[in-house]
Amino acid sequence: MNVDSVSVCGPASAALRLQLCVAGAIGSAIQEPVSCYQEFVMVVRYQRILLLAFGLALTAGSGSSIPVAGGQEPVPAEVAREIVEATGIRGGFVVHLNCAHGELTAALRINERFQVHGLDDESSNVARARATIQRAGLYGDVSVDQLRGTRLPYIDNLVNLLVSDDLGNVSMSEVMRVLTPGGVAYLRQAGRWQKTVKRRPDNIDDWSHFLHDASGNAVAHDEVVGPPRHLQWLGSPRWSRHHDRMASMSALVSAGGRIFYIMDEGAGCF
């Protein structure tokens, strides 16, 4: 038996791959003169290996993130990793709409670069989700509140990733309102996850150099920027030295929807 390349998938794929491998090895071995007894021993050993491999493959397959027969639910941690990989979001503010008992909400805190906020219109679900988050030791970086009405409790252009398998009474236009340019809505509809990316407006410009761009002309082509009218977010560092002396922030630029800055967090007084 000669096997060059075979593609297999499913719970029994490991057993089938081992079957092909062992069969190839036996095929090579029996090309040499052997006795009937030796051939019989090789076949018995081959069958035992196949049974063991098939059992191991079934055991490994039970942890798959894809729903299996019998109604087994996917593991929340695996679903969260798949969502992050599918959306390409590597950090930021994540909203889990209609979060139910909060297992996936907690799992969406992949690492310290994510801050997660769950929403649900049922007070009983909010209580269960909060208990789930506290048991996981994630309270603070992950939180849950009750959604009242059809408007999401966020300012425009704030959310990096919104995940939901049921929007409920929230419209898609409301979802797009809270997404930051380049943000992603990952929604499950008709049993399938669908990715929607909010397009970056053409009238927003970058400020990638000290004087706007490489030309040194300190004039941006941005039609949206203007005097501050509201607080967009609050983040660290919260305190810095006064600008009359040596300011803590010596440089700040923005490009591709991200802010880059140099911040001296040394002592503010002597």
pLDDT digits (tens, 9 = 90+) for 167-176: 999 999 999 9
Domain ranges for the chain: 13-61, 76-197, 202-270
Report the run of H or E that residue 118 belongs to, with start and end: strand 114-120
Cβ burial of 4 (10 Å; 0-12, 13-18, 19+) is: exposed
Residue 130 makes CB contacts below 8 A (sequence gap 6+) with 102, 139, 143, 144
Which residues 6+ apart lie within 8 Å of 106 measured at CB? 76, 116, 132, 133, 136, 138, 142
Work out the average pLDDT over 54-66.
Answer: 37
What CATH number matches the domain at 76-197, 3.20.20.70, 3.10.20.340, 1.10.1610.10, 3.40.50.150? Answer: 3.40.50.150
pLDDT digits (tens, 9 = 90+) for 183-234: 999 999 888 999 999 999 889 899 999 899 999 988 988 888 888 888 888 8
Q: Which pLDDT value is given to residue 233?
A: 80
Residue 246, class by beta-carbon neighbours within 10 Å (0-12 exposed, 13-18 middle, 19+ buried)?
exposed
pLDDT digit string (tens) for 1-49? 433 333 334 334 433 343 433 344 334 333 444 444 454 444 445 445 4
- Span 119-127, mean pLDDT? 96
Burial of 83 (0-12, 13-18, 19+ CB in 10 A): buried
For residue 269, what pLDDT band results from cuts at 50, 70 and 90? low
Q: Dump the DSSP string for 66-78.
A: S-BTTTBPPPHHH
Is residue 9 classed as helix, strand or coil in its secondary structure?
coil
Return the minimum-mean-pLDDT range out of 5-14, 45-54, 117-126: 5-14
Q: What is the pLDDT of residue 174?
A: 97
Residue 260, both tokens:
């880059």
> Which band of pLDDT confidence, cut at 50, 70 and 90, is reported for residue 267?
low
